[in-house]
Amino acid sequence: MDFSSLGLSEKLVRATADQGYETPSPIQAQAIPAVLSGKDVMAAAQTGTGKTAGFTLPLLQRLAETPRQGKGIRALILAPTRELAAQVAASVELYSKYMPTSSAVVFGGVKINPQIAKLRRGVDVLVATPGRLMDLYQQGAVRFDAVETLVLDEADRMLDMGFIRDIRKILALLPAKRQNLLFSATFSGDIRKLAEGLLNDPVQVEVATRNTTADNVDQSVYPVDQSRKSALLSQLVRQNGWQQVLVFTRTKHGANRLTQKLEKDGITAAAIHGNKSQGARTRALSNFKQGDVRVLVATDIAARGLDIKQLPQVVNFELPNVPEDYVHRIGRTGRAGESGNALSLVSADEGKMLAGIERLIRKEIPRKTVEGFEPTAGLSTRPKTGGGQRPNGNGGRNARPAQNRSRGGNGGSGGNSAGQSRRPAARRQSA
């Protein structure tokens, strides 16, 4: 099977070939024909399997084949974070290179006036974070009366981050007659509830078991005392000759502190999180992709928004509070069928978190030790609860403590540490 067999035009097939893609992934093979048919689609697949192209390619073709019905944007794509919005916008631009389609991306953390100016010139496809989009609407810079297609990308993450109120406001402003596409890494109960009020007799596409990890990612756990994690990470980077490592911490302060320690050890590193300006985040990511920075330290804000081709190594410096975030973190490696390696540095106080992750993914993660870094506190070399047990009905989400976070990345100030537990939907997380 190739992309042309899915019903895509020669221009789109040529654009995918330019990116080195000739064979559609399972999610693309099922979603593209469904979107082309004009039906609403609810699609879920593991992170890194090509969901973005699964809706971008057929969306662009439908725009090319359908005459414009009015002024304003024709397709609206909502994404939870700046990084993901930028990534999706880049895909739209790449795949539409042989088409007259115009596009733009808007998100917080940068000046709003250039975004207003571009929107006033007119665009066909707009990629946006919900908060900045509402800011633009309130200033009269964007109109929705011509929207033909709405895409909610990483919808579960948007709900987790507290964007439901903005999403509902946006839905109320859109034309009643439109195509709705909901793409996500998981089909949680909250997502299904949202879909009931949004989608009309949708085609459901699910190509992998919920909350499973990709088979091409090698996972391991390194038990180590908390106080020695940074030293162990530095040794692993140097001894293994890792040149590109994405490291996750739970807090923004922890990301900054780890970055400083790595730099002192002679390892080039940069941090990316919600308290960083958009310019700093963009520079850090660019330097990491180009190889000028060896280690990129990130909070969970980056778990859904980073697409780095052939990223070989992901490290959980600290386990996430929410088990599902482990799946999204390690999904940054092993993308597009490539092999990847994901290891977690786990201290004794993270035993319950590890057990929750293993219940969720229904797999025991192999333990490894490094000579000279054996833990004194003694993390068990076996899961505290059976890794083969089925997760609870809501995918482990009942373990989330409720904490508030202040409004951030869509134009406001930074909130509490990204990667901490979810807060009530009334407030938005720093993105």
- Give the pTM: 0.65
**Counting beta carbons within 10 angstroms of the beta carbon of residue 390, is it exposed (0 to 12), middle (13 to 18) or buried (19 or more)?**
exposed
423: left (phi over 0), alpha (psi -120 to 50) or beta: beta
Q: What is the pLDDT of residues 50-95, one digit of tens each?
A: 889 999 999 999 999 987 776 789 999 999 988 889 989 999 999 9
Q: What is the pLDDT of residues 13-49, one digit of tens each?
A: 999 999 888 889 889 999 999 999 999 999 987 666 7
Predicted pLDDT of residue 336: 58
C-alpha distances (whole Å) from 77 to each of 60, 84, 221, 271 are 12, 11, 37, 27
Length of the chain: 431
**Secondary element (H or E) of residue 103:** strand 103-106
Predicted pLDDT of residue 285: 86
Secondary structure (3-state) at 304: coil
Predicted pLDDT of residue 380: 54
What are the residue ranges in the chain where pLDDT is below 50? 381, 383-431
Predicted pLDDT of residue 335: 66
> What does the block give as tokens for 146?
């011509």
205 has which bridge partners?
43
The residue assigned the tokens 């700046």 is 82
Domains and CATH numbers, the chain: 3-206 (3.40.50.300), 217-397 (3.40.50.300)
User: In sequence order, which residues have a C-beta less than 8 Å from that of residue 336 and are 6 or more positions away?
Assistant: 21, 25, 48, 49, 50, 309
For residues 85 and 79, what is the distance between their CA atoms, to the nearest angstrom? 5
214 has which bridge partners?
none
